[in-house]
Structure 1
Amino acid sequence: MGKSDESINDEAYQALHEEECPAGDDRCPHLPRVKQLEEAIQQLSALVRTDELTGLYNFRYFNQAMGLEMERTHRSGKPCCLIMMDLDFFKKINDIHGHEVGNTVLSYTASLIRKTIRRLDIACRYGGEEFVLILPDTTLNHAVVFANRLRLIIGNSPIIANQQEVKVTASFGVGLYSNNPAFKLSVKEFTEKVDGFLYQAKQEGRNRVCHEAIEEAVAGVSSEERDLLLGGFLDTE
């Protein structure tokens, strides 16, 4: 009587972890199963950290990545920035055009984000119509410039869905994180802080970028550190 698939999978999994089936050894009877298991593990890992609709990283992955980036900032002294963005009047889009068009808007926005960010940046769907972008080794000035650039790209890229043109705008909040002791915040605290700037952008009329006051961003730092954090800050709004 032959072995069941479950039994063979168990043996292959054991071989994988006990290194009884080294990669490239064609004589190993479990090699095909081991390769299948490795592919399945990779697929499951991607599912756990990826948003199904947009293909961006999800909320769970954002929390992990933001925490790691904040730790890296404290070790290296190089600042990082967080951008939170929210599509304006998205509920109205769903109400007028339907949820299928709404999903198309979200997917298209995600594609614009992917085309705009750098390789080292991390883009996530935070939930609903809200997205977050982690920008490592980035000054406040550069983050604000980037947010405004993305805002203009989204606003000037109408979406054609079901033979209808759907115009979309977005509001942005931008926050700076540094190794300044005053910035010793948790991921939750820092995210809530930046979310406050996003809320401000929506309260002030939407389709704009709001960020923390320069005085707050450089409180208690030297002139050299100020330049490092701000990056020659100019008001780009």
Structure 2
Amino acid sequence: MNGRDVNIPECPEGNDNCCLAAELRRLRAERDRLLELVETDQLTGLYNYRHLIKSLDHEMERTRRTGLPVALAMIDLDFFKRVNDRYGHEAGNKALREVARICKHRIRRIDILCRYGGEEFALILPGTRLEMAVKTAERLRRELRSTPVNLEGRDVIITASFGVGVYRTRDTFSVEEFIRHVDRYLLLAKSRGRNRVCYRESRVDSLGTDLSREERKALLDDKGK
């Protein structure tokens, strides 16, 4: 919404208070529009990293206040570099938009889907326990696997790997630590062959706890295993 769309009644002549209120409404509408732009990924129309951090911080605070858990799913598209290399970056952008559309239509209205960066996405699931979060991730994984994306006249299957974690009142993570915690499960899904969901019961210890930046890049690299 922009300032021109706001229905501002005309002020009676000489009524300065009315005119001031109308101007304040216009400024608030413009502020809200700018905030929305700042927190929106322009390619996919999803929320961006900035909004992810703000929303996750808010939901974690809600967990500490109410005791209701919040789940986070980290999502990475498998072998996406091959899509860009074979069909071009415009087709790759189309694929990202389609993935965003598919996922957005398979989640609840209260869920918050963000583009984390590149071909990575993050999904915040407020008030959600681990079992339901894993079911949601599995549903999205199956939906992506069974929905071809038409690129340059060809139907292309795009799969994704998921890491899922839950923040509870007993946890002491910061926002960034929680993301890194869930990211370990995503890396485990990548290391186990991709196109799967990994979470706490997936024996993440087998992956190790001190991955270097280079090791993480190797696991996410499309030229990896």
Instruction: Provide the aligned length of Structure 1 versus Structure 2.
Output: 192
Moved more, 203-212 or 32-41: 32-41
Equivalent residue for 1:81, pick from 71, 74, 84: 71
**Cα deviation per residue 1:175-206 (whole Å; 9 max; x = unaligned)?**
011001xx111011110010000000000000
Which residue identity lines up with residue 24 of structure 1 in the other structure? P
Q: Which residue of 2 aligns with 1:200?
A: 188
Equivalent residue for 2:31, pick from 28, 41, 60: 41
Q: Which residue of 1 aligns with 2:84?
A: 94
Which residue identity lines up with residue 207 of structure 1 in the other structure? N
Output aligned runs, 1:1-237, within 5 Å: 24-27=9-12, 37-180=27-170, 183-213=171-201
Q: Which residue of 1 aligns with 2:214?
A: none
Which residue identity lines up with residue 36 of structure 2 in the other structure? A
TM-score, structure 1 length as denominator? 0.76
What is the deviation of 1:42? Answer: 2.7
Return the alpha-carbon distance in structure 1 between the equivalents of residues 110 and 118 of structure 2: 24
Which residue identity lines up with residue 26 of structure 1 in the other structure? C
What is the deviation of 1:154? Answer: 0.5
Q: Which residue of 1 aligns with 2:4?
A: none
Q: Secondary structure at the match of 1:184?
A: coil
Return the alpha-carbon distance in structure 1 between the equivalents of residues 154 and 24 of structure 2: 48
What is the deviation of 1:50? Answer: 0.6
Counterparts in 2 of 1:32 and 1:176: CA distance versus 1, 3 Å:
closer
**Cα deviation per residue 1:27-73 (whole Å; 9 max; x = unaligned)?**
36678876654443232111111100111110001001101111100
Counterparts in 2 of 1:33 and 1:200: CA distance versus 1, 3 Å:
same
Return the alpha-carbon distance in structure 2 between the equivalents of residues 215 and 162 of structure 1: 40
TM-score, structure 2 length as denominator? 0.79
Q: Secondary structure at the match of 1:104?
A: helix
Return the alpha-carbon distance in structure 2 between the equivalents of residues 90 and 124 of structure 1: 18
Counterparts in 2 of 1:46 and 1:26: CA distance versus 1, 3 Å:
same
Counterparts in 2 of 1:73 and 1:94: CA distance versus 1, 3 Å:
same
Return the alpha-carbon distance in structure 1 between the equivalents of residues 111 and 42 of structure 2: 20
Percent identity for Structure 1 against Structure 2: 46
Gaps of 5+ in 1: 1-22, 217-237
Return the alpha-carbon distance in structure 1 between the equivalents of residues 49 and 24 of structure 2: 31
Gaps of 5+ in 2: 1-7, 13-17, 205-225
Return the alpha-carbon distance in structure 2 between the equivalents of residues 33 and 41 of structure 1: 12
- Aligned-residue Cα RMSD (Å) equals 2.1
Q: Which residue of 1 aligns with 2:210?
A: none
What is the deviation of 1:114? Answer: 1.0
What is the deviation of 1:213? Answer: 2.6
Q: Secondary structure at the match of 2:9?
A: coil
Q: Secondary structure at the match of 2:105?
A: helix
Which residue identity lines up with residue 69 of structure 2 in the other structure? P
Counterparts in 2 of 1:36 and 1:186: CA distance versus 1, 3 Å:
same
Return the alpha-carbon distance in structure 2 between the equivalents of residues 70 and 170 of structure 1: 26
